[in-house]
Structures are given as structure tokens and as C-alpha cells.
Amino acid sequence: MKKFCTYFLFLAIMGPALLNGQVGGKGSLVIMGGGINSSLDRVYQRFIELGGGLEHIRLAIIPAASVEPAVSGRVNAADFIRLGVPADHIRVFPLAVLDDPESKDVDEAQWIGNGFNEELARDMLEYTAVYFVGGDQIRYTQTLKKADGEDSPLLRSIRRIYAAGAVIGGSSAGAAMMCDPMICDGYSMKALITGAAFKVDSCPEAKGVSLSTGLGFFSDGVVDQHFLKRGRVGRTLIALYALSKKWLGVGIDEDTAAVCRGDTIEVLGSSGILVVDASNAKATGNFTWSTAGGFLAKNIILHYLEEGDSYNITTRTPLPRPERKPIEKGKEANVDYPLETNIFAPDAFRNMLVDGMAENRQSETSGLSFILDKDGRGTGSKWTLRKTAQTGAFYASINDVDTYTVTYVSLEIQPISLRVKKIR
């Protein structure tokens, strides 16, 4: 647990029968935040379990997002085979946008229309698990949707087996496409300045946050990936602003998965998930954006969850892992926490939640996001995290690793202007 000294900065401010481990009425989702490394085995083992177990799983791999679809399909299949899935239970479906430079005898770019192949659509009905590889999520839209957003026959079959209890999984791009609309490109700082843009059949130029048609397996909100490592909380919030009917953001960090069953999200992996609840902010009119005025928000509720934690979407309730115990008030590791001057830096927002909230004896902490021109003038926003009457901070050392759960933290965002002056 880190300790910090305080400093100051001055600024201006139906398919197959249900199998063991599957749920009736609707299947499960294993949404992976990308960069699945140290957690790969246990995340994939959970996916296998939800697909019916080693004996019964029938796994379809969709490599369309990859720049090397043939290689990606083989590599992902090899991981599942290493974990015990029989090779003859796995099929890499021929779906791609680009030709794989590593394969000399096949032009995978010819697979772009296979989402509309009726024979492949019928074959899909025999599978209990579908895995979408990483790459560029817009390629899933290009291969599995018509230009007007209508489902292809293959996607309709995937929906049928999912409705019957199959598990759908994906990492990185395979996670991004889980919602509809989906985030297909963009950066947090640009999003706060420029806002959001949407196109039905392609990804808009990334002037802010770019949205397009996703596949919509996760219908409860907006999903984002590589979340904490790439500082994507800003673009997720602007996406929620642009999508008036969406109130829930689920930001999944690298080497981490959100396992969705029914109305419950479970966390699995070495990092964490940020749950963003914008319902109250939207309902009270405290969630506004304009090019002139910037982003102004208040009463956004955040929950930072790690492995073993869960979140109930219906009741909007986080449930900490039982091993984590409340941090006693007055015994937090930090007397104060310094101003975070780049909240979109890798892991900076997690640090604010853990070291600036859970392990901070003060009731609030702040951070900045901004850009400067050549004269040292700039615009940005101030982000303030505040403890509420419901805020919970939980800690446990598990396998010699410090782990945390932080719940019911309030976020306020205010536009600011800055000017940097030379001291001498």
C-alpha cells in the first residue's frame, strides 16, 4: 500500500440443448478487456465451463476482426486445445475482411461474404460457444451485418444458440462489439472536446469518440476495453452522453474479464472493472456537453471491482468479494493524495480510486485532463471523486497481491481553463 505526501499545483479551474454450466432463457457472456496474459487460463476455463465443459463444448471461433485471420484462428484454437478442449470440438469459421499475409494458398479476403452463407449459418446451430478474436471491431459489423444494420444469417444463428444458453466470448475488439451501438475508435481527451460521432455501417473518423453498429449481445449499456491501461473513462462517458437511453458503462481493463450471467456481472482476472452509473446524473440534468461549454457532469456513481466482485444490473448493487474486508476509517494508508495531473495516463484513474479514495483519509481527491497550445494556454476538465454516505472501501492481500473493491464513489466533472507561466 502506497503512501503519498501532499503537494500543490496552482491553476485556473434454438439450438442445442442446455448443458451443465449454462443458463436457460439466455446464455452467458465472457467479455475480455484485451491483453489476456496471466489470467488467460482461468478466463478461458470459465468460458469452457459455460460452454458445457471439456466433454460437451462445441466451440466456434470467429477471426473476422484480425489482420491475420488464419493465424489468429489457429492461435486461439491452440489455447483452447492446450486447456483440454478436443481439437475436433473446435471450428474456425471462415469469416474475414483481410487476406492473411501468412497464408499463401488462401485469400481470406474472399471470406467477407460468408456471414450470408446459409450452410455456415446452419452449421452454427450445432455449437455451444462462440469466441470472437481481437483486431478491429468494425470488421464484425462488415461481415455479420448488412449496410442497413440487418443481421446476416450467420449472426441470426449465433443469436439463436445464445438465446438457448450458449456462451459468447471475445477479447478487445471481440469485447467492444458486444454492445450496440459500440465504441469503435476514439480518445478520452478528444472526446471531451469534440464529442461523439455515429455511422451505421462504418467507423467515423476519430475526432472524438466514434460509434457504430455493434452486435448487441450485451444490451444493458456501453462496454469499453483496455480501459484503465489506456485511460478510456472519458470516451466512455461521452458515449453515454451521446446515447440518451444508456445509463450504464462497463470499462474492462486488460487481463480481465466481465462474466455476464442473467443480470449479474462477475469480475475475473488480474486487474479490474469500472462500473459507471450515470442514471442519476442523467435524470437530474447533470450530464451535459457542448463544444462551447465542454463536459459538465455531477452525481455519476462509480464502482471499482476486482476479481471475485460482482455487480447486479437490476438493483444497481455491487457485491464485494467476501475475503475483502472494510478498511477502517482513520486507518487508511494515506493522509492525503496529490492532484493527479493526467487522469488518462495508464492506471491513473485506478490509482485515484484506490489510493485517493479507499486508502485516503480525506473525503475527496481530484485530477485533471487538459491540452495546451504553444503559448501555454489550454482547456480541459477537473475531475473530483468524493466519498458518499454509501462509499465502501475493501481490501485483502490475496496470493501476496494487494486487492481492492471501491464502491459508491461520486464523480463530478467541471470544465477548466489553464495557463502555464514560466517561473523565471
Neighbours of 276 (CB within 10 A): 23
- Burial code (b: 16+ CB inside 10 Å, e: under 16) for 370-389 equals beeeeeeebbbbbbebbbee
Alpha-carbon distance 217 to 140, whole Å?
13
Output the pLDDT for position 106.
Answer: 93
Residue 173: all three cell numbers together:
475488439
All domains of the chain in start order, with CATH: 28-294 (3.40.50.880)
Strand 364-372 to strand 377-398: parallel, antiparallel, or no bridges (unpaired)? Answer: antiparallel
- The DSSP letter of residue 415 is E
Output the pLDDT for position 14.
Answer: 35
8 Å CB contact between 221 and 248: yes
Output the pLDDT for position 375.
Answer: 86
Output the pLDDT for position 19.
Answer: 43
pLDDT along the chain (424 residues), means of 10: 34 37 68 97 98 97 97 97 98 96 92 98 98 97 94 98 98 97 96 94 91 96 98 97 96 98 97 98 95 93 98 98 97 96 97 98 96 89 97 97 98 93 78
Output the pLDDT for position 358.
Answer: 98
Output the pLDDT for position 289.
Answer: 94
Q: Which long-range contacts (CB under 8 A, 24 or more apart) does 313-316 make?
A: 313/220, 313/221, 313/248, 313/263, 313/264, 313/265, 314/263, 316/277, 316/279
Output the pLDDT for position 420.
Answer: 86
